[in-house]
Structure 1
């Protein structure tokens, strides 16, 4: 019975270990690029937010009666 089950259990464990190892390697390799991209996107969002607020302030100051 053990000879029948053990190979399957070993394959499942090896597959899980392979998946976790691959994910950790991918995370380690890609994290710096991901952080750089995230910072760039945040700068763009804040810049557009500032432009929007400044546009609203200009509109409010022009349309005062």
Structure 2
């Protein structure tokens, strides 16, 4: 019996969806892309950006409970 493993399909969000996902504005997403904190992709021949959901998860960092005022 032969088994095959399929790679999970990567989920991409547009700028508005990414902003909603993180709870920030679309402008904040644009700033994060511009300054290199977030990687974005463009569909060949298109204008709109797409951002991997996993990249959005990676910009979130855990906060030590003692650091919260």
TM range (shorter): under 0.3
The structure richer in helix per residue is: 1
User: What TM-score do the two structures reach when normalised by structure 2?
Assistant: 0.19
Indicate the structure (1 or 2) with the bigger Cα radius of gyration.
Answer: 1
User: What TM-score do the two structures reach when normalised by structure 1?
Assistant: 0.20
